[in-house]
Structure 1
């Protein structure tokens, strides 16, 4: 089965490497501080992450994913099916991200999460 044909899943994770930072952070793709809830920064008060991935393989109790945006070894709290009819919400406004989306193509990291 081709990668794009594999079903997607949503992973709820524990951002175990996050730090206790203030509620304002300088996020990936920007050089200006923003409130943590207006960013995708891993350092959050609740340390819960959400990623949309494709299942790449199953080996016993070990699952492998593609397209994930988390570090290897991140604890997975739950796996839910990704259903576009329920999960995709179109919006006209995305705040400060709108000015920075052009930088995203091909950029995977800014080096902070090594």
Structure 2
């Protein structure tokens, strides 16, 4: 059964063009739509240091349904789209945990959100340490190389 989603906000003040690295210092805003959220929707959010942002890769047209080289780099083996975090996913949905800098009514200031200016925001959730993975976390060597300068 297909689902549709209505964005609740928009990323503002972030990068205009997709750049693969150095997102850690990027500060931007999430402006929530008052037609979609009540004025008190962010009440209590400033008690958290980080939020998880669900957004749309709105400038991505291409869809990968199979395998590709991560970042198009042939020195890394081809892996399935579900084994990487590329924007050309079947539903173009991105999810990032970022630092919450400030809350001002229906506007959040965040740092480290790897979404472009104008990206539709589908949801924001407080990051709870209890949701962090339990046990050992493992990842392939190429992902560490790929992410070494990402944030």
How many residue pairs get aligned? The number is 101
TM-score by length of 2: 0.55
Alignment check: 8 A CA contact 1:10 1:51 kept:
yes
Greater mean alpha carbon deviation, residues 60-69 or residues 47-56: 60-69
Q: Which residue of 1 aligns with 2:91?
A: 46
Q: Which has the higher contact order (CA 8 A, sep 6+)?
A: 2
Unaligned runs of 5+ in 1: 1-5, 110-114
**Structure-2 separation of matches of 1:54 and 1:101:** 21
- The 3 A distance-change label for structure 1 pair 17 and 89 is farther
- The 3 A distance-change label for structure 1 pair 101 and 17 is same
TM-score by length of 1: 0.70
Query: C-alpha displacement at 1:11, in angstroms?
Result: 0.6
- 1:40-90: CA deviations, max 9, x gaps? 100111221110011223445332210112222211111101111123344
Q: Which residue of 2 aligns with 1:112?
A: none
1:75 to 120, 142, 146: 120
Unaligned runs of 5+ in 2: 1-47
Select the structure of larger CA radius of gyration.
2
Runs of 4+ in 1 over 6 A off after TM superposition: none
**Structure-2 separation of matches of 1:52 and 1:19:** 24
Q: Which residue of 2 aligns with 1:13?
A: 55
Alignment check: 8 A CA contact 1:29 1:103 kept:
no
Greater mean alpha carbon deviation, residues 20-29 or residues 67-76: 20-29
